[in-house]
Amino acid sequence: MSKQISDVASYMTALGGEARQASRVLASATTAQKNRALEAIADELGVSRERLMAENSKDLEAGAEKGLDAALLDRLELTPGRIDSMIEGLRQIAALSDPIGEIFDMKYLPSGIQVGRMRVPLGVVGIIYESRPNVTADAAALCMKSGNAAVLRGGSEAYYSNQAIAASIHSGLRKAGLPQEAVQVVATTDRSAVGQMITMPESIDVIIPRGGKGLIERISQEARVPVIKHLDGICHVYIDDQADLDKAFAVAMNAKTQRYGTCNTMETLLVADGVAEQTLSKIGGALIDKGVELRGCERTREIVADCQPATEADWDTEYLAPILSIKVVAGLEQAIAHINRHSSQHTDAIVTENYTRARRFLTEVDSSSVMVNASTRFADGFEYGLGAEIGISTDKFHARGPVGLEGLTSVKFIVLGDGHIRS
């Protein structure tokens, strides 16, 4: 293995072919075998702490030399605590129930045949990600548990860390009697490897990019295989005039301030005119106390003194920062219209005690997560009980919202007969 590979195209083709072959073994591996491999990888990472940190320090040094900023270097670092989390993550995935082989919806049809579905792996999953090296273990584990082979392409700044983790993964796979080719960690920093990876439908069935919007847009544009993609999170909370205002306060504060940089953070607050004065004077003040910059419509600014005017662009902006846009609306109708126009269809919530309005909001808001009286911050695979999350899809096709193991599977029809023929 080497960072520089002379013929990237042949290298990627060979690696993809190996993954495809290994995927057939993974697809029919038993639950016990897959779990044994995950546990073995966890053990391997445990005994390799020294090696992992030594390899990681090569990346950190190279990063510092290249002038990476402090935040990026921090994300790149494999601390003992992060190695522990990575190991713990693998054991958690081992403990999840195996989605593969699940049979459901078996029904007898008038012809006498019995028809249902069986959950099966997609095949080979390609994941393209940026600096955090723990994604290598996490993504490999999710693919393995769902019976898929994986082709992983991490950021070039984490090259040595990723290769060190790959060595532990391969060793764990071998110990469980599974082919180490089932997890391919691309061993070149050559950028053309990504272009190759997203145009090999014969070897890779789906691409999941995890990273900034630029990366995801470029990959979606150029891919010749399906992409499970996650673009913006412009999330809304609408406080109805029949809201319980204590709940409204709690939900709005949590949705904005529990963490600022996540995709499920509220970026726009909508408030019904009837409760605007009462609500905004309290929430506005509390947000400003927390250091959040407010940008509001005219009506908002009449209520909250320390509020900048919002421009049209604000309604379409994912701040990922302590900034919030606020708009007073006439009521439910206007709130839904605003959301369906400006939301990125990620996560939107209503706060109301009114049954009919809650029901309408759930039905009419076309976002991957729609909530009543709950903080948008809950939009997350772990919080939803998926057990793990490989990403959040803002698409409608195949997978939508937080994607767990099930998003990495397909289903086939199974038909049971007793010599049945079609007449």
CB 117 to a copy of itself: min, Å? 9
Least spacing, CB of residue 368 vs a copy of itself, in Å: 6
Q: Considering the complex, what minimum distance in angstroms separates the CB of residue 319 from a copy of itself?
A: 19
From candidates 26, 87, 173, 206, binder to a copy of itself by CB under 8 A: 206
**370 belongs to the binding site for a copy of itself (CB under 8 A):** yes
Binding window for a copy of itself (CB under 8 A); candidates: 22-30, 31-39, 67-75, 319-327? 22-30
Cα–Cα distances in Å, from 16 out to 21, 192, 221, 240? 9, 15, 21, 52
Q: Is 28 helix (H, G, I), strand (E, B) or coil?
A: coil
Q: What is the DSSP letter of 258?
A: S
Instruction: Between 48 and 375, name the residue whose CB sits nearer to a copy of itself.
Output: 375
Place of tokens 């609408």: 238
Q: State the nearest-atom distance from the C-beta of 238 to a copy of itself, in Å.
A: 14
Residue 308: CA count within 13 A, CB half-sphere = 12
Site track for a copy of itself across 93-122, x = CB under 8 A: --------x-----x-x-x-x-x--x-x-x
> What whole-number distance in Å separates Cα of residue 256 and Cα of residue 349?
12
Render the burial of 62-91: b for 16+ CB within 10 Å, e for the rest. ebeeeebeeebbebbbbeeebbeebbebbe
Among 258, 278, 334, 354, binds a copy of itself (CB under 8 A): 258
From 139, 178, 303, 371, residue interacting with a copy of itself (rule: CB under 8 A) = 371
Beta strands in 109-162 (DSSP E): 114-121, 124-129, 149-153
Q: How far is the CB of 413 from a copy of itself (least distance, A)?
A: 4
CB 267 within 8 A of CB 318: yes
Which among 134, 78, 95, 128 is positioned nearest to 228, based on CA atoms?
Answer: 128
Contact call for residue 312 and a copy of itself (CB under 8 A): no
Q: Which residues contact 149 (CB under 8 A, 6 or more apart)?
A: 19, 20, 22, 23, 26, 123, 124, 125, 143, 181, 182, 183, 184
The residue (of 284 and 387) whose beta carbon lies closer to a copy of itself is: 387
User: Which residue, 305 or 414, is less far from a copy of itself as judged by CB?
Assistant: 414
Among 246, 289, 312, 313, binds a copy of itself (CB under 8 A): 246
Distance CA 379, CA 350 (A): 14
Among positions 372-391, residues that touch a copy of itself (CB under 8 A) are 372-375, 377-379, 383-385
Contact between 420 and a copy of itself by CB under 8 A: the answer reads: yes
Residues of this chain, 123-142, that bind a copy of itself according to CB under 8 A: 123
Least Cβ distance, residue 98 to a copy of itself (angstroms): 13
Minimum CB distance to a copy of itself smaller for 309 or for 417 = 417
Please tell me whether residue 344 binds a copy of itself under the rule CB under 8 A.
no
The footprint of a copy of itself on this chain (CB under 8 A) covers a number of residues equal to: 66
Q: What angle do CA 21, 86, 193 make, to 5 degrees?
A: 45
- The nearest distance, CB 259 to a copy of itself, in angstroms, is 9
Contacts of 218 (CB under 8 A, 6+ apart): none
Chain-centroid distance, C-alpha 209? 9
Short-list 162, 161, 183, CA closest to 171: 183
Choose which of 163, 300, 367, 394 interacts with a copy of itself (CB under 8 A). 367
Question: Measured from the CB atom, is 191 or 412 closer to a copy of itself?
Answer: 412
Query: Measured between alpha carbons, how far apart are the two ends of the chain, in Å?
Result: 59
Answer whether 182's CB lies under 8 Å from 21's CB. no
Nearer to a copy of itself, 1 or 421 (CB): 421
Q: Which is nearer to a copy of itself, 137 or 287 (CB)?
A: 287
Q: Identify the burial level of 418 via C-beta atoms within 10 angstroms of its C-beta, where 0-12 means exposed, 13-18 middle and 19 or more buried.
A: exposed
Which residues within the stretch 392-411 sit at the binding site for a copy of itself (CB under 8 A)?
A: 396-398, 400-402, 410-411
What kind and span of H or E run contains 359? helix 355-364
Residue 313 Cβ, how far from a copy of itself at the closest point, in Å?
19
Cα Rg of the chain, angstroms: 24
Instruction: Tell me which residues touch a copy of itself (CB under 8 A).
Output: 24, 27-28, 101, 107, 109, 111, 113, 115, 118, 120, 122-123, 205-206, 226, 244, 246-247, 250-251, 253-255, 258, 340, 349, 351, 362-364, 366-375, 377-379, 383-385, 396-398, 400-402, 410-422
